[in-house]
Amino acid sequence: MATIGTFTKTSAGFNGTIQTLNLKAKVSIAPVEKSSDTAPDYRVYIDRVEIGAGWTRTSQGKREFVSVKIDDPSFAAPIYANLIERNGQHDLIWSR
């Protein structure tokens, strides 16, 4: 597992930065109105360009987190990560 981003919770969702070997960008994760049970709870943006989506989940320990899928034509494959709260900030944790 690796932390690829740090975020702050705001009234409009989450704002932060994602940094990998090939990407460094300011990102916002904004809540959206669900159109169905399987629709995402959040959309992920760099500027105004949508790069992914997120779903609210609950861990076995009853902690809420956001499961995120990020994709871009420049990626070899989508990035799957979890946005979790730790010590007052939210970390985006990537795993394979």
Mean pLDDT computed over 40-59: 95
pLDDT value of residue 69: 96
pTM for this predicted structure? 0.91
> pLDDT-derived band of residue 1, with 50, 70 and 90 as boundaries?
low
Strand partners, 35: none
Q: Which residues of 3-27 are buried (b: 16+ CB within 10 A; e: fewer)?
A: ebbbbeeeeebbebebeeeebebeb
Regarding predicted confidence, which is higher, 65 or 20?
65
Mean pLDDT computed over 71-86: 91
Predicted confidence (pLDDT) per residue in 17-26, tens digit: 999 888 899 9
